[in-house]
């Protein structure tokens, strides 16, 4: 039976990622990939976040994150400051340019989801969102390894 669950789980993932349109090289016609957008979101919403915290939050490879952060610094989207508590740790902050870039992506994402949800009836929207909350609640009790 577990094989059937695996098949359906993976099938849903393939369907959903294609349906929402996140497999393109540039997310929402921005100049960023989905992982880059997620990193920018993490810095935008968590002032002073550390790279280690981003790694944990996004379950992203440290080397990949490092390349993204270096690129973001070059583009002046983020700045880093040495932590007052631990000189080996850098805290990350979004710049004015980074805020502008993230807010454009965030707006485009909201508009995309709104457009998709408006295709559904009110009852279907309630069902889908309730199901998403149920999935998130259930899976968040377990750690991905």
pLDDT of residue 133: 96
In residues, how long is the chain?
Answer: 145
For residue 81, which phi and psi values (nearest 5 degrees)?
-130, 140
Integer-rounded Cα Rg, in Å, for the chain is 18
pLDDT of residue 83: 86
Q: What is the pTM of this model?
A: 0.86
What percentage of residues in the chain have a pLDDT greater than 90?
76
Count of CB atoms situated within 10 Å of the CB of 38:
16
- Residue 144 located in a structural domain: no
Q: How many helices (H) and strands (E) does the chain have?
A: 6, 2
- Mean pLDDT over 31-42 rounds to 93
User: ∠57-60-64 over CA atoms, to 5°?
Assistant: 135
Count of CB atoms situated within 10 Å of the CB of 54:
22
Residue 131: give its domain's CATH number: 1.10.10.10
- Mean pLDDT over 14-32 rounds to 82
The gap between the terminal CA atoms of the chain, to the nearest Å, is 22
Residue 22 has pLDDT above 90, yes or no: no
Establish how many alpha carbons lie within 13 A of residue 86's alpha carbon, considering only the half-sphere containing its beta carbon: 5
pLDDT of residue 135: 94
**pLDDT (tens digit per residue) in 95-112:** 999 999 999 999 999 999
Count of CB atoms situated within 10 Å of the CB of 101:
22
Higher pLDDT, 43 or 88: 43
Distance CA 4, CA 13 (A): 14
The answer to whether 80 and 91 have CB atoms below 8 angstroms apart is yes
Question: Based on the structure, what is the number of domains in the chain?
Answer: 1
Least confident of 19-23, 59-63, 92-96, 119-123: 19-23
Q: Could you list the residue range(s) of the whole structural domain that residue 110 is in?
A: 2-139
- Residue 145 located in a structural domain: no
């Amino acid at each position: 039976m577990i094989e059937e669950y695996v098949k359906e789980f993976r099938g849903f993932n393939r369907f959903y990622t294609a349906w929402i349109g996140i497999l393109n090289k540039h997310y929402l016609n921005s100049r960023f990939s989905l992982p880059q957008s997620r990193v920018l979101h993490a810095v935008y919403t968590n002032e002073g976040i550390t790279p280690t915290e981003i790694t944990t939050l996004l379950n992203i490879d440290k080397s990949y994150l490092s390349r993204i952060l270096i690129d973001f610094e070059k583009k002046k989207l983020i700045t880093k400051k040495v932590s007052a508590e631990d000189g080996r740790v850098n805290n990350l902050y979004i710049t004015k340019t980074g805020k502008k870039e993230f807010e454009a992506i965030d707006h485009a994402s909201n508009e995309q989801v709104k457009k998709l949800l408006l295709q559904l009836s009110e009852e279907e929207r309630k069902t889908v969102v309730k199901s998403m909350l149920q999935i998130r609640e259930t899976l968040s009790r377990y750690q991905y390894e």
